[in-house]
């Protein structure tokens, strides 16, 4: 049995902070937590030097694997390279449990990573690679576009084979959801997808004519996932009526509601409300939808996810803390709350005896979080050794 001890730490618990405490780890599990310094002998010790000890971050929605696989159009890297390189980056950003979001857009999607056969292949690869040597915990999040009619049999097969850990239903057709404002959608296509104005107009018109799955088919897929304990999420909810459909699909998570009244209603209906940490960090939505900070101020946000920028999670926590939120409440939004929503809180998400020892040691530099050390299952998987500026000797 391996015993480790982290002492002299400000330990962030689910509902309070222990200002100077000790965490004792046995093998991969937190054995106990106490105030002060433990007298236990013959153990490996880590002096936190007064830094914060917080749970490893649980990221419920991250598109990072897509960017790692295809950083530029047509430049597709092997999954064995992308998976391992991304894992190092995520560990260095404090993310110890990641839900890799794969968007099942359509058979002929412009992005290689969103084509049907490629998505299912990547899901298989992630499941295979995560069972080998790894730094952090890997899960899969299948984002199913409800206009992708031909993919239904494969989605069902994927669910029945327990290859996915979260399922979300998306509708990115123009005129609703994230793209309810057609001019904003057009600008997005031109500026970010590099379409010509003519191409953008044509795509918007084609999008508005797309066939969508019948509600009965969606309910059948949702029921299939529900029976297997797979959490179900909606995406870009823009109306109260859509929330009723969301509940009928047995969804328990509402990702990125686009209006404040919708977010409030989702919370009232008992859904976990997810907003993007980049949105919170920047103070605005990149697509001109609901500001995460406004939603936080109205107390309707349960979870922050990294969405498209993994580094945003830890920084968003400390932004909320600096603005007056209790540190434990801000931390819960990226640890315990997503773990609860995704049904893994029995294992990770908080610093409590009996849970896996996924722990971050975080100091502050000019009110900025500085990640010092990352433990996953009690093992140090990442350690930062910052260098002091070298002193230059003067010439005689």
When the pLDDT of each residue in the chain is averaged and rounded to a whole number, the result is 90
| Spatial CA neighbour of 61 closest among 28, 15, 97, 27 | 97
- Both 332 and 252 in one domain: the answer is yes
- Both 45 and 81 in one domain: the answer is no
- Both 48 and 142 in one domain: the answer is no
- Both 49 and 71 in one domain: the answer is no
**Tell me, what's the pLDDT at 183?**
67
- Both 132 and 255 in one domain: the answer is yes
Instruction: Tell me if 203 is assigned to some domain.
Output: no
Q: CA–CA separation, 139 vs 113, rounded Å?
A: 17
* Residue 396 in this model has a pLDDT that exceeds 50: no
- Both 156 and 43 in one domain: the answer is no
42: domain CATH number is 2.30.40.10
- Both 157 and 283 in one domain: the answer is yes
Instruction: Tell me if 193 is assigned to some domain.
Output: no
Instruction: Tell me if 254 is assigned to some domain.
Output: yes
Number of domains in the chain: 2
List the structure tokens of 396: 């005689």
* Residues 6+ away with beta carbon under 8 Å from 24: 3, 4, 5, 30, 31, 32, 33, 34, 38, 40, 43
156: domain CATH number is 3.20.20.140
- Both 158 and 114 in one domain: the answer is yes
| Spatial CA neighbour of 108 closest among 96, 95, 119, 92 | 119
Q: In which domain, by residue range, is 377 found?
A: 3-54+353-383
- Both 301 and 332 in one domain: the answer is yes
How far is the CA of 196 from the CAs of 62, 72, 181, 189, 199, in angstroms?
28, 18, 18, 8, 5
- Both 147 and 289 in one domain: the answer is yes
**Tell me, what's the pLDDT at 345?**
98
Instruction: Tell me if 267 is assigned to some domain.
Output: yes
Instruction: Tell me if 84 is assigned to some domain.
Output: yes
- Which alpha helices (H) appear in 213-370, and where do they start and end? 215-227, 240-248, 260-268, 277-282, 292-297, 312-322, 327-332, 336-341
Instruction: Tell me if 131 is assigned to some domain.
Output: yes
- Both 113 and 155 in one domain: the answer is yes
Mean pLDDT, residues 297-312: 97
Instruction: Tell me if 74 is assigned to some domain.
Output: yes
**Tell me, what's the pLDDT at 109?**
73
| Spatial CA neighbour of 318 closest among 10, 13, 52 | 52
* Residue 250 in this model has a pLDDT that exceeds 80: yes
**Tell me, what's the pLDDT at 209?**
57
* Residue 47 in this model has a pLDDT that exceeds 60: yes
Q: What is the DSSP letter of 288?
A: S
Mean pLDDT, residues 232-251: 92
* Residue 12 in this model has a pLDDT that exceeds 90: yes
* Residue 41 in this model has a pLDDT that exceeds 80: no
Instruction: Tell me if 286 is assigned to some domain.
Output: yes
Mean pLDDT, residues 8-14: 98
List the structure tokens of 242: 């859509």
Alpha-carbon torsion, ordered 50, 51, 52, 55, to 10 deg: -120
* Residue 32 in this model has a pLDDT that exceeds 60: yes
105 and 114 Cβ atoms separated by less than 8 Å: yes
Q: CA–CA separation, 323 vs 329, rounded Å?
A: 12
Q: Which residue has the tokens 């406004």?
A: 294
- Both 273 and 260 in one domain: the answer is yes
């Amino acid at each position: 049995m391996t015993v480790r001890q982290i002492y002299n730490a400000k330990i962030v618990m689910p509902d309070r902070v222990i200002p100077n405490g000790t965490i004792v780890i046995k093998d991969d599990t937190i054995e106990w937590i106490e105030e002060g310094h433990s007298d236990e002998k013959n153990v490996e010790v880590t002096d936190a030097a007064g830094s914060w000890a917080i749970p490893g971050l649980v990221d419920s929605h991250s598109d990072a694997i897509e960017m790692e696989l295809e950083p530029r159009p047509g430049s597709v890297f092997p999954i064995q390279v992308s998976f391992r390189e991304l894992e190092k980056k995520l560990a260095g950003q404090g993310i110890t449990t990641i839900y890799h979001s794969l968007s099942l857009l359509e058979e002929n999607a412009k992005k290689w990573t969103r084509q049907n056969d490629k998505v299912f292949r990547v899901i298989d690869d992630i499941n295979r690679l995560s069972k080998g040597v790894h730094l952090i915990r890997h899960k899969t999040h299948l984002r199913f576009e409800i206009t992708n009619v031909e993919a239904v049999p494969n989605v069902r097969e994927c669910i029945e084979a327990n290859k996915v850990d979260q399922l979300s239903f998306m509708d990115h057709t123009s005129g609703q959801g994230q793209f309810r404002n057609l001019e904003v959608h057009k600008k997005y296509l031109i500026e970010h997808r590099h379409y010509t104005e003519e191409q953008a107009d044509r795509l918007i018109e084609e999008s508005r004519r797309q066939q969508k799955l019948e509600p009965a088919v969606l309910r059948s897929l949702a029921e299939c996932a529900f029976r297997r304990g797979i959490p179900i999420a909606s995406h870009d909810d823009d109306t109260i009526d859509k929330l009723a459909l969301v509940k009928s699909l047995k969804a328990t998570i509402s990702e990125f509601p686009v209006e404040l009244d919708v977010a409030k209603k989702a919370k009232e209906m008992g859904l976990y409300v997810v907003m993007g940490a980049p949105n919170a960090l920047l103070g605005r939505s990149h697509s001109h939808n609901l500001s995460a900070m406004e939603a936080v101020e109205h107390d309707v946000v349960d979870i922050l996810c990294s969405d498209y920028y993994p580094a945003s999670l830890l920084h968003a926590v400390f932004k909320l803390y600096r603005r007056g939120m209790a540190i434990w409440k801000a931390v819960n939004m990226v640890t315990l709350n997503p773990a609860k929503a995704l049904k893994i809180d029995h294992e990770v998400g908080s610093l409590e005896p009996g849970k896996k020892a996924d722990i971050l040691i975080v100091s502050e530099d000019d009110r900025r979080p500085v990640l010092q050390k990352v433990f996953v299952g009690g093992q140090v998987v990442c350690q930062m050794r910052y260098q002091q500026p070298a002193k230059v000797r003067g010439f005689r």
